[in-house]
């Protein structure tokens, strides 16, 4: 626990600096995180002798983020996805990789760089402060769920996937996220009803994202995706709940607020 807290204290200022600056530093920061996370993803699958086409995943990540930096038309990005899929088809036909390897490669691209790109898309809304909601939801859910489970947890949530998570912890995470978003909304002058809703639903989605990542780890029989962050595991272990939270926050703001 102590190591986990120390790691968080060290990383938070770095993250805060990237978020506050926005623009190109934000784009590059999310791109680097995506590259590191997708590497951890492919490396974890190799534990079960599955071989994603990692170089194609890295290339796709660069295309996605340089496309965002250069503000390219979305049709060019769609074309890029077609080219990636076409290359995978060629590799499959030539029997360099199998169908499972092909699926893992494409899953990694969609799951990590494509979904994390929504952090950048949120930064383009009329009010830049919306971007902080992603991290308020994900990390307040994690914090409140941990302490709620520690003090009140008695009933296991999904023990086959994550043995330590409890129903009480999950409920505490939802409540903590909702309250934190309301406080956040009050500070920045946002509609408090929308903040409560986005915190409540966002917390559930964040927890599903966490459980999804845990289910993959269970299948691959690995404890963590990496060891880069002491007490947390790898980059993907730290950002697993953010991956699904970012698209939700974006679409909620797009359809109901901005």
In the chain, what percentage of residues exceed pLDDT 70? 93
Within-domain flag for 29? yes
Give phi and psi for 117, each to the nearest 5.
-60, -20
Q: Whole-prediction pTM value?
A: 0.91
Q: Is residue 98 part of a domain?
A: yes
Tokens for 252, please give them.
């909620």
Joined together, the tokens standing for residue 167 give: 């129903």
DSSP state of 229: B
Residues 132 and 111 both lie in one domain = no
133 lies in the same domain as 245: yes
The reported pLDDT for the residue numbered 187 is 96
Are 153 and 234 within one domain? yes
- In sequence order, the β-bridge partners of residue 229 are 233
Lowest average pLDDT, out of 24-28, 131-135, 172-176, goes to 24-28
Whether residues 34 and 148 fall in one domain: no
Q: Rounded distance, CA 62 to CA 72, Å?
A: 13
Helix (H) or strand (E) holding 36: helix 23-45
Q: Do the domain assignments include residue 14?
A: no
User: Are residue 203 and residue 135 in the same domain, yes or no?
Assistant: yes
Report yes or no on 3 lying in a domain. no
Structural domain count of the chain: 2
Q: Are residues 247 and 133 in the same domain?
A: yes
240 and 146 fall within a common domain = yes
* 132-150 pLDDT, tens digit each: 999 999 999 999 999 999 9
pLDDT at 199: 97
What value does the mean pLDDT of the chain take?
89
pLDDT in tens, 95-118: 778 999 999 999 999 999 999 999
Neighbours of 11 (CB within 10 A): 13
pLDDT (average), residues 177-194: 97
């Amino acid at each position: 626990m102590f190591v986990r807290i120390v790691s968080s204290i060290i990383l938070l200022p770095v993250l805060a600096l990237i978020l506050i600056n926005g623009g190109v530093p934000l784009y590059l920061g999310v791109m680097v995180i995506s590259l590191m996370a997708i590497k951890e993803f492919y490396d974890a699958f190799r534990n079960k002798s599955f071989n994603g086409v990692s170089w194609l995943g890295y290339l796709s990540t660069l295309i996605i983020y340089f496309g965002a930096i250069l503000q390219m038309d979305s049709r060019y990005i769609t074309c890029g996805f077609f080219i990636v899929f076409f290359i995978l088809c060629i590799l499959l036909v030539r029997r360099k990789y199998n169908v499972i390897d092909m699926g893992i490669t494409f899953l990694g691209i969609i799951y990590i760089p494509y979904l994390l790109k929504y952090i950048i898309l949120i930064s383009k809304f009329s009010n830049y402060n919306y971007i902080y909601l992603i991290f308020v939801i994900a990390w307040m859910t994690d914090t409140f769920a941990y302490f709620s489970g520690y003090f009140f947890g008695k009933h296991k949530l999904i023990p086959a996937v994550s043995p330590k998570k409890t129903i009480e912890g999950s409920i505490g995470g939802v409540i903590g996220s909702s309250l934190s978003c309301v406080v956040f909304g009050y500070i920045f002058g946002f509609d408090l009803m929308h903040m409560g809703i986005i915190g409540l639903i966002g917390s559930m989605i964040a927890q599903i994202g966490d459980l999804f990542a845990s289910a993959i780890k269970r299948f691959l029989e690995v404890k963590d995706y990496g060891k880069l962050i002491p007490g947390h595991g790898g980059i993907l272990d730290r950002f697993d709940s953010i991956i699904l939270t970012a698209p939700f926050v974006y679409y909620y703001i797009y359809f109901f607020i901005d």
